Amino acid sequence: MAATTGTAPAVQPLDRQAMLKEAGATGLVIFALAFGLLGFRTLDVPGGIDIQYRFGDVAAAVVIGILGRIALILLREHRPLPVLLTTAPLAVVLLVMLLAKFLFGPETGAELMRFLPFESLVVMWAILIVIVVLALRAARSQTHIASEMTVEDRDARMDRIGAKVQRAARRLGPVLLGIAIIFPFLPFADRRLLDIGILVVTYIMLGWGLNIVVGLAGLLDLGYVAFYAVGAYSFALLATGLDVSFWVALPFAGLMAASAGVLLGFPVLRLRGDYLAIVTLGFGEMIRIILLNWYEFTNGPDGISGIPRPSFFGLAVFKRSVTEGHTFHEMFGLQFTPIHRIIFMFYLILALALVVNLFTMRIRKLPVGRAWEALREDETACRSLGINPRNTKLTAFGIGAMFAGFAGSFFATRQGFISPESFVFTESAVILAIVVLGGFGSQIGVVIAAVLLIGLPEFFRELQQYRMLAFGMAMVLIMLWRPAGLLAHREPTIRLFGKGAAKEAEP
């Protein structure tokens, strides 16, 4: 078999027994998993519950697992040809069967689809993707056998890509911003798209805010949503209780959240890494549970409703008609449509997010920002240089929390209703995932990750049950291949020789 590849350098003879053993073990593991998970399914039948047996599926899963393992072993042992010869036709056949509905009409399609091993089309597509990946890998190693990339090569290459994207981001940033600005006026921008846009930008803002704490200062904060909640509740209580307007309440909500950040910062000053993460996680839960149980103040699980919408800078309101003051559409002589308010909301959050971004870019080049990064790198060395670690950490916590507070106020005024349910741990996890996926400290990375994690799932709501699965899978892949995040490339805050010299120095 080795001779078929021809160019293969010193291919070891294949140990069939070991291969079958390994594949068998894989089959056994899959059987153990699939027997319980796939083998039985409860069905609602009139008058009770019934069990559907799906042993065919179990068998299919085991067979696919064993074959896949064998393919992987062959690839590992530098025998790509047989893998290529089996997977490529298989991929074509599967693709034809899956697309049969469109190719040959619905009847033949349905006929052909009956031969598929699994009923669920999503599963079949997933299997197809795996087969295609295998085929591509086989084709790759068939064409250039010796070009196995080492992990370092790959990391270096990814870092170069990261650097390129960041350099491109300088030009890409304004373009993206331009797109964002004209986005509400594009012909396809309906209410649903605008809502998704608002959501994505909110998470971008939260990601940028958390990036200060996690990416720059290196303080792993798992309870970031607590500050979001403090901001939202501060705003909601001020607006409903004291009738304070959005533009007055916004800075106050930020201030409250920042105080909460400093308050959390004090007891955790000495903690690092995992311990810090656990305490911040606890803090996040504490805030939520306080909001849930302090009924007289926060209205508990009933939440706060009737939060006023923001006015057009206090000049006009977004309503069809008002008894006093002005309405937005009359002020500008437009036809009334509720979309005006949505567009205004979009610009509002965009402006808030941009403030966070500009602030972060600026502060990175200031002593505080550099001290944050230095603190992330080595706290002991910081102390030996006369940097006050306490104040530096507290500023990071405070500023990060303040931005979450702004975002929280926005959330409250957009929803018009908030309850503790909006501020669960999953939210913290998603925001952190955005920062981690984008690459610690990378501004453009956060944008990309927010679009991927928030935007795409909103579009594919139909595949909702697979959403979290894909989410988890993406995180695992990132951790395997790019533990520092997609675009983890750090641009120096100051250079001695300018950028041109740096490029020349690079090979």
Partner 1 sequence: MSAETAIAEGATSPDLLGPIPGGGEAQLTVEHLTMRFGGLVAIDDVSFQAADARITAIIGPNGAGKTTVFNCLTGFYKPTVGRLALHHPKGEFLLERIEGFRTAQAAGVARTFQNIRLFPRMTVLENLIVAQHNKLMRASGYTVLGLFGLKRYREAEEKAVELARYWLDRTLLTKAADQEAGNLPYGDQRRLEVARAMCTEPVLLCLDEPAAGLNPRESQVLNELLLFIRDEHKMGILLIEHDMSVVMGISDHIVVLDYGRKISDGTPEQVRNDPAVIRAYLGEDEEDEPAGETAAGPESAAREGEERDA
- Give the 3-state secondary structure of residue 327: strand
Shortest Cβ 369–partner 1 spacing (Å) = 9
Q: Angle at the Cα of 406 (from 183 to 487), degrees rounded to 5?
A: 60
Measured CA to CA, the distance from residue 495 to residue 492 in angstroms comes to 7
Q: Are 307 and 240 in contact (CB under 8 A)?
A: yes
Counting contacts by CB under 8 A, is residue 116 touching partner 1? no
Work out which of 3, 10, 480, 494 binds partner 1, going by CB under 8 A: 494
- Closer to partner 1 at the Cβ: 296 or 506? 506
Range 452-491, binding partner 1 (CB under 8 A):
490
Contact region for partner 1 (CB under 8 A) — 205-213, 294-302, 355-363, 472-480?
355-363
Q: Does residue 212 touch partner 1 according to CB under 8 A?
A: no
Instruction: Tell me how far, at minimum, the Cβ of 220 lies from partner 1, in Å.
Output: 16
How is 175-203 classified by DSSP, letter by letter? HHHHHHHHGGGSTT--HHHHHHHHHHHHH
Among 157, 334, 362, 417, binds partner 1 (CB under 8 A): 362
Binding partner 1 by CB under 8 A: which of 33, 196, 387, 451?
387
Among the listed residues 21, 76, 191, 383, the single contact to partner 1 using CB under 8 A: 383
Token output for 13? 């003879």
The vertex-62 CA angle with 56 and 65, nearest 5°, equals 140
255 binds partner 1 (CB under 8 A): no
Compute the least distance from the CB of residue 370 to partner 1, in Å.
5
Residue from the set 145, 316, 368, 430 that interacts with partner 1 by CB under 8 A: 368
Q: Which of 306, 385, 464, 465 binds partner 1 (CB under 8 A)?
A: 385
Distance CA 67, CA 24 (A): 10
Q: Which CB atom, from 269 or from 451, has the smaller least distance to partner 1?
A: 269
DSSP-based helix, strand, coil % in the chain, nearest 5: 70, 5, 25
Is the CB of 68 or the CB of 215 nearer to partner 1?
A: 215
Interacting stretch for partner 1, rule CB under 8 A, among 3-11, 116-124, 150-158, 367-375? 367-375
Report residue 117: phi and psi, to 5°. -70, -30
User: Applying CB under 8 A, does 156 fall inside the site for partner 1?
Assistant: no
Binding to partner 1 by residue 382, rule CB under 8 A? yes
Identity at 341, one-letter amino acid code = R
SS (H, E, C) 28-94: HHHHHHHHHHCCEEEEEECCEEEEEECHHHHHHHHHHHHHHHHHHHHHHCCCHHHHHHHHHHHHHHH
Please say which residue, 91 or 363, places its beta carbon nearer to partner 1: 363
Does 500 contact partner 1 by CB under 8 A?
A: no
Asked whether 428 and 225 are in contact (CB, 8 A), the reply is yes
The Cα–Cα gap between 28 and 159 comes to 39
Which stretch in 31-39, 74-82, 252-260, 372-380 sits in contact with partner 1 by CB under 8 A?
372-380
Query: Which residues form the interface with partner 1 (CB under 8 A)?
Result: 359, 362-363, 366-368, 370-371, 373-374, 377-378, 380-389, 395, 490, 492-497, 501-502, 505
